[in-house]
Amino acid sequence: MLYRLTLSSKRLGILLLTLCTVSISPGTPSRAIYQERPAAPTETIIDSNITTDTTWTLANSPYRVTAEIDVEPGVTLTIEPGVTVWIEKDLKIHVRAGASIIAKGTPEHPITFDRYRDPVTGLAPRWKKIHFHENSSSYFRYVDFAYGGASSDESTILHFEGPGTHVLNMCTVRDSKRQGITAQGNSLNLTVAGTLFEDNGRWSLAFDSGANVIVTGSTFDVADHIAVRLRDKGEGPATITISDSNFLSDGSNFVVYNEMHDSVSINARNNWWGQASGPYPGAVTAGVDYTPWRTTEAPRVGITTPPTAIFTVTPDPTVVQPPGTEYTFDASDCSDVEDYTSSLEVCWDWNNDGTCDTAWTTTKTATHSFTPNVTVQTVRLVVRDTDGLTSEATQDIALNTPPTATFTVSPDPDTPL
């Protein structure tokens, strides 16, 4: 028997609402019913070439690269500590002749280059690489490079072509589809310090003849892949030195591979090979000098240099000013190879007694007035970088003019009595 149920539109709406209503007790978290996606952070879209000197700031992070772009000739791209850069599928960043990237993170605020993850689909395909063309330069410190190396001419995260000078200091290069770094071309100078290579799909560092590579204080965690490979490509002599670093492998493949062993020797002395007895059989090819080796694991050590301390004083510290004059001290010209000036901390010792009278601060200017109870007061500036290294500078402040001593004698001392 067939029954027909007829409902008005109003009653139908009530019925549907009833069927779709779920009773939630006070103790049941709402996410049991609906898992809300976290709000995506506001992004800065990069979809065109960088044509003038540009700074990517933490305030505008993350940056999402949605098109293949050039850092055009002569242009410098500066990246502040803590910035995240997302690069979409199969895209490259080209750094052209005379251009440079300066990216100085800190231990607390590293910089990240990573793949972009679609918040709707959850997909996160690999990006290709940052390609440094001839006569470009770069400096990277506390930068994490991850999930690049998508299929391309070199399938690498970082591609350096000489001539040019490039530095990786306390960085991480990881999870490339194939290669971590490719270095090629005459007069290419690449320095790698305190850097971790991890989970790269084929080899971590590949370089060709003509490249000059120095690696110190770093770790190659390669499992069954090759850590370092000198390829029989390019022209000119190749120079590579790896020292005080760690090669961690499962023993199933070469770790350091030299295709040019008849003409070039790789200096791989004083490294840790995962065991006190040195490299396992088959870990190195001919043309690799690995003795002596370390018998303990090497610490991760980057390049550290103390900052340069300098400051100015206004008004002119060599001219005596009225009592109570407020002086302005400016340390904005302090600098450091590894840190931006904005990351440096300063403190002021107003009477140069060895103890700072102000707290450490990244603010580079301060004011102070002196009690003119001395003729000259020496002020000391202390500058500290993010590695804890310090430098000092001093400046004398003229506070009083010394009195002029004079006297007379009577009667005239030149007249005989």
pLDDT tens, 308-326? 999 999 999 999 999 999 9
Q: Assign domain 312-398 to its CATH architecture.
A: Sandwich (2.60)
pLDDT at 414: 78
pLDDT at 416: 77
Q: What's phi and psi for 31, nearest 5 deg? A: -65, -15
- What Å distances lie between residue 187 and 134, 229, 366, CA to CA? 10, 18, 45
pLDDT at 35 exceeding the cut of 70? no
pLDDT at 379 exceeding the cut of 80? yes
- What Å distances lie between residue 154 and 118, 160, 161, 373, 398, CA to CA? 26, 11, 12, 70, 63
- Residue 379's DSSP bridge partners are 395
- What Å distances lie between residue 413 and 79, 103, 406, CA to CA? 78, 78, 15
pLDDT at 411: 82
Tell me the average pLDDT of the chain: 89
Instruction: pLDDT band for 275, please (50, 70, 90 cuts).
Output: very high
pLDDT at 294: 98
Least confident of 24-28, 135-139, 151-155, 296-300: 24-28
pTM listed for this prediction? 0.83
| Helix, strand, coil tally for the chain in percent (to 5) | 5, 40, 55
pLDDT at 48: 98
**Share above pLDDT 70 across residues of the chain, in percent, rounded to a whole number:** 88
Instruction: pLDDT band for 40, please (50, 70, 90 cuts).
Output: low
pLDDT at 382: 99
Cα–Cα nearest to 70, from 43, 89, 98: 98
Least confident of 227-231, 282-286, 399-403: 399-403
The domain spans of the chain are 44-289, 312-398
Q: Identify which has the larger pLDDT, 344 or 404.
A: 344
pLDDT tens for 158-171 read: 999 999 999 999 99
pLDDT tens for 333-368 read: 999 999 999 999 999 999 999 999 999 999 999 999
pLDDT at 7 exceeding the cut of 60? no
Instruction: pLDDT band for 233, please (50, 70, 90 cuts).
Output: confident
Mean pLDDT on 214-238? 90
Contact (Cβ atoms closer than 8 angstroms) between residue 8 and residue 87? no
pLDDT at 33: 31
pLDDT at 263: 86
Mean pLDDT on 110-116? 98
pLDDT at 228: 97
